[in-house]
Chains A and B, each alone.
Chain A
Amino acid sequence: MLDNLSNKLQGILGGLRSKGRLSERDIDVAMHEIRMALLEADVNFKVVKNFVSRTKERCLASEILDSLTPGQNVVKVVLEELTALLGSDDSKFKLPDKMPVIVMLVGLQGSGKTTAAAKLAYYFKQRKHLPLLVACDVYRPAAADQLQSLGDEMGVSVFRGDGKDPVGIAKASLGYAKENLRDIIIIDTAGRLHVDERMMDEAAAIKAAVSPDQILMVIDAMTGQDATNVVTAFAEKVDFDGVIMSKMDGDARGGAALSVREVTGKPIKFISDGEKPSSLEEFHPDRMAKRILGMGDMVSIIERAKLVAEQEAEQEAIEAERIAKAELTFDDFITLNRQLHKMGGASKFISAIPGGEKALKSGQVQEDFFDRIEIIVNSMTKEERQKPSLLNGSRRARIARGAGVNVSDVNQAVARFNETRKMLKKMQGAAMQQQASKKPKKGKNRKKARKAAKGPMRGIPGMAGMSMKDLKQLQDMLGE
């Protein structure tokens, strides 16, 4: 993303970094190069001018030039100014507290509105909303079909209305959303040239009819110097709240991205950089500035990983609930054992259980006993794993031969398994009790308990509603 600009700036700043002392002339040269790099990236001329003069002035200050590491300090100034250019305050997209929330998209032809609408719907769907896409582009052939097929792919419903009157469709979509319990309405409008009065009036009319909570303008990141004229015209006519930068992939220069904030004061809310529905991400000025200067963007990567982990954790919680509801099977037992390994092994888990540590020390619990059970379980048939009650004498003898153990070991494993099942049930009860004691009004509500488990720690498999944190608390409580 913005590779071109990024490479150039890094080259320029790298040259400064390597110098022990910087003269005014060095700064002059570097600033000239930065100016060139920004202009090459289609950053608006006036924005570049202001940016360079601000940066230069700060860099020429004595505390920078005479400092021990002038190069580093110049980089710092550039980073700060670049962040400011991209929008220093938080540009996070906040949803108002109402239902349904109405988001309207506007922009030039070919800027990628329909695709952006679909991506936005996916973004909200990922975050547990029920979005509704509304097709108000009645002019471009097959625009509604495009939105429909994108919506179908993601499992988001699309409202097309009569397909004729954009204002009417927008209005009608409100009722439809309420009836169908959709909490976010995303209105895709027809593309228009900013000099096309009639179309600009139509956008204004849709806006007046449904009073959207957020109007987002979609801007093609490949637009040249004209981008500022376009955004200014749109800002005057429909007064949008923020920007979605589209087509940030490939070798887009992204000059528009660096200009729009300074020119209109409107923040960039999202950037979109690919074909996939998941390729819409929230825009963070500080992280983008760092990315451009090659300082990496670990935070975004971590956040992405976290989202994945959360989704996984939720999956596990669902599974855990199933285990708790139904009878524990040997399959679950293996899953449980593997998850135990992921969490640091059985001993860690056992020591977290009240009294577990003591049991471990006194040798009552064998740390590898889950592993040994797994070997035995591996010799069971599918049916036997699902229904432990099937295990009669001859089956046990067969399993023992298969696993290379004595029948008594199999007996022991089955007994342990039954114990574990009992133990899990007991602990689940305890967790409920604890939840109940914390929030007496809410009572023994399993759903609430599960919610509590959605912290950074994963829920403990087999124990719906319990996280390690809860377990620790429980332990502390009992210890008192």
Chain B
Amino acid sequence: MSLKDRLSARLSKSRQRLNESMNILFQRGAKLDDGFWDNLEETLILSDMGPAACMELVEELRDETRRQAIPDAESVRERLISKIVDLFVVGEADLFDDAPAVILFVGINGAGKTTTVGKLAKSAVDAGHSVLLGSADTFRAAAIEQLDEWAARANVDVVKRERGSDPASVCFEAVERGEQVGSDFVLIDTAGRLHTSDDLMRELQKVVGVTRKRSRVPVKVVLVIDATTGQNGLEQAKVFNKALDLDAVIVTKLDGTAKGGIAVAISNELQLPIVRIGIGESIDDLGPFEPRDFVEALLGAQD
């Protein structure tokens, strides 16, 4: 099964309502009246894409439909999908294209950073890369143990210190060790923090700063964000981006509850590529991001 199929399958439950409304919407036939546009706007807003962006999108579509005499709802949908797809920023290179590199994972509490690092380590190893993990989440209880577990599964080493030690020193050591053993990728997990907590954001700035300064290979900073987050997610991304100059975004927990429209907003507003999406618990459920598949799944397109 391709990731796209799995994505569709995983999203199906949560998508049901959205899907239904979209289908009803698009099966109304050729009649493109006020009701149609209102419903379209509602459907989009319910996906967490952000009201302003949604309204703009609908307004644009409406205008084009009028000017270009677009006949029916089906053609409108095609245009809608490509418009949303165009909102995404496409990364020039994938996360694992150019080795060696050091990649730091940041985000708020409970976004799924540690799990993401674990899964990425496994897939990078499977692709034939050498990987070293760094556990810079020295704050949360059991975070180190959790990463250890993932390291065992991927059969890689972890640089770690006891709980409560300085996260920057863990990064320093991880970078150093990575250089010594010649790792292709050093993946570093950091402690979750709310973007409104200035102290912790400063600490993270220091962690990232130390890593960038020490590392001779490129350092990438990746934001991990929970797809259930509403419009606050954009604010989170903005603050993290401003403090750390992010390189990419990973959206997790797209299965189950998520709508994930906030991914569109973040990518577009901050001009950041989405490099992976997480759609489930298993190790294969973290896959590359394909804008078109994502949008079709989001809008419930059938093929």
Q: Is the pairing of A and B real?
A: yes
Q: A225 contacts B230, CB within 8 Å?
A: yes
Q: B48 contacts A252, CB within 8 Å?
A: no
In whole Å, how far is B59's beta carbon from the nearest beta carbon of chain A? Answer: 13
Task: Identify which of B96-104, B127-135, B256-264 touches chain A.
Answer: B256-264
Task: Kindly state the separation between the CA atoms of A353 and B120 in the bound complex, as whole angstroms.
Answer: 79
The A-contacting residues of B in range 182-217, CB under 8 angstroms, are: 194-197
Partner of B17, one of A224, A229, A247, A251: A229
In whole Å, how far is B13's beta carbon from the nearest beta carbon of chain A? Answer: 5
In whole Å, how far is B96's beta carbon from the nearest beta carbon of chain A? Answer: 28
Task: Determine the residue in chain A with the shortest Cβ distance to B48.
Answer: A224
Task: Kindly state the separation between the CA atoms of A242 and B64 in the bound complex, as whole angstroms.
Answer: 47
Partner of A222, one of B45, B47, B230, B257: B230
Q: B51 contacts A229, CB within 8 Å?
A: no
B155 CB-CB contact with A under 8 Å:
no
B82 CB-CB contact with A under 8 Å:
no
A145 CB-CB contact with B under 8 Å:
yes
Q: B232 contacts A45, CB within 8 Å?
A: no
Q: A141 contacts B257, CB within 8 Å?
A: no
| A142-B141, A195-B256 as given contacts; A253 in contact with B46, CB under 8 Å | no
The B-contacting residues of A in range 211-270, CB under 8 angstroms, are: 222-227, 229-230, 247, 249-253, 255-256
Q: Could you tell me how many residues of chain A have their Cβ less than 8 Å away from some Cβ of chain B?
A: 34
Q: B52 contacts A255, CB within 8 Å?
A: no
A376 CB-CB contact with B under 8 Å:
no
Q: B110 contacts A226, CB within 8 Å?
A: no
In whole Å, how far is A42's beta carbon from the nearest beta carbon of chain B? Answer: 4
Q: B230 contacts A42, CB within 8 Å?
A: yes
A291 CB-CB contact with B under 8 Å:
no
A57 CB-CB contact with B under 8 Å:
no
Q: A250 contacts B195, CB within 8 Å?
A: yes
Task: Report A-chain residues with C-beta under 8 Å of the C-beta of B194.
Answer: 247, 249-250
Q: A145 contacts B141, CB within 8 Å?
A: yes
B226 CB-CB contact with A under 8 Å:
yes
Task: Report A-chain residues with C-beta under 8 Å of the C-beta of B196.
Answer: 249-251
Q: Chain B contact residues (Cβ within 8 angstroms of A): what range? A: 35 or more
Task: Kindly state the separation between the CA atoms of A187 and B199 in the bound complex, as whole angstroms.
Answer: 33
B42 CB-CB contact with A under 8 Å:
yes
Partner of A253, one of B110, B142, B197, B232: B232
Task: Report A-chain residues with C-beta under 8 Å of the C-beta of B230.
Answer: 42, 222-225, 227, 253, 255-256
| A108-B257, A195-B256 as given contacts; A45 in contact with B231, CB under 8 Å | no
Task: Kindly state the separation between the CA atoms of A42 and B230 in the bound complex, as whole angstroms.
Answer: 6
Task: Kindly state the separation between the CA atoms of A109 and B142 in the bound complex, as whole angstroms.
Answer: 16
Using an 8 Å CB-CB cutoff, how does the interface string of B120-156 with A read, 1 for contact, 0 for none?
0000000000000000000001100110000000000
B235 CB-CB contact with A under 8 Å:
yes
Task: Determine the residue in chain B with the shortest Cβ distance to A39.
Answer: B51
A41 CB-CB contact with B under 8 Å:
yes
Task: Report B-chain residues with C-beta under 8 Å of the C-beta of A42.
Answer: 48, 230-232
Task: Report B-chain residues with C-beta under 8 Å of the C-beta of A193.
Answer: 255-257
Task: Report A-chain residues with C-beta under 8 Å of the C-beta of B261.
Answer: 224-225
Task: Kindly state the separation between the CA atoms of A226 and B48 in the bound complex, as whole angstroms.
Answer: 8
Partner of B228, one of A141, A223, A251, A253: A223
Task: Determine the residue in chain B with the shortest Cβ distance to A46.
Answer: B42
In whole Å, how far is A6's beta carbon from the nearest beta carbon of chain B? Answer: 15
A443 CB-CB contact with B under 8 Å:
no
Using an 8 Å CB-CB cutoff, how does the interface string of B30-43 with A read, 1 for contact, 0 for none?
00000000000010
A155 CB-CB contact with B under 8 Å:
no
Most A C-beta atoms less than 10 A away, residue of B197, B231, B232: B232
Q: A141 contacts B45, CB within 8 Å?
A: no
Task: Report A-chain residues with C-beta under 8 Å of the C-beta of B226.
Answer: 110
A146 CB-CB contact with B under 8 Å:
yes
Task: Kindly state the separation between the CA atoms of A368 and B258 in the bound complex, as whole angstroms.
Answer: 73
Task: Determine the residue in chain B with the shortest Cβ distance to A37.
Answer: B51
A421 CB-CB contact with B under 8 Å:
no
Task: Determine the residue in chain B with the shortest Cβ distance to A233.
Answer: B257
Task: Determine the residue in chain A with the shortest Cβ distance to B192.
Answer: A110
Partner of A226, one of B51, B141, B232, B258: B258
Using an 8 Å CB-CB cutoff, how does the interface string of B226-266 with A read, 1 for contact, 0 for none?
10111111010000000000000000000111110110000
Task: Kindly state the separation between the CA atoms of A36 and B231 in the bound complex, as whole angstroms.
Answer: 12
Q: A39 contacts B45, CB within 8 Å?
A: yes
Q: B232 contacts A252, CB within 8 Å?
A: yes
Task: Report A-chain residues with C-beta under 8 Å of the C-beta of B75.
Answer: none
Known pairs A222-B233, A227-B230, A255-B231 / 6 extra A-B pairs, C-beta < 8 Å: A42-B230, A110-B226, A193-B255, A226-B48, A230-B257, A250-B194
Chain B residues packing against A (C-beta within 8 Å): 13-14, 17, 42, 45-48, 50-52, 109-110, 141-142, 145-146, 194-197, 226, 228-233, 235, 255-259, 261-262
Q: Could you write out 23 A-B pairs with CB less than 8 Å apart?
A: A40-B52, A42-B230, A49-B42, A110-B109, A141-B142, A142-B141, A193-B256, A195-B14, A223-B230, A224-B48, A224-B229, A224-B262, A225-B259, A226-B257, A230-B257, A249-B196, A250-B194, A250-B195, A251-B235, A252-B232, A253-B231, A255-B230, A256-B230
**Closest 7 A/B residue pairs (Cβ):** A224-B230, A250-B196, A110-B110, A42-B230, A39-B51, A224-B48, A142-B142
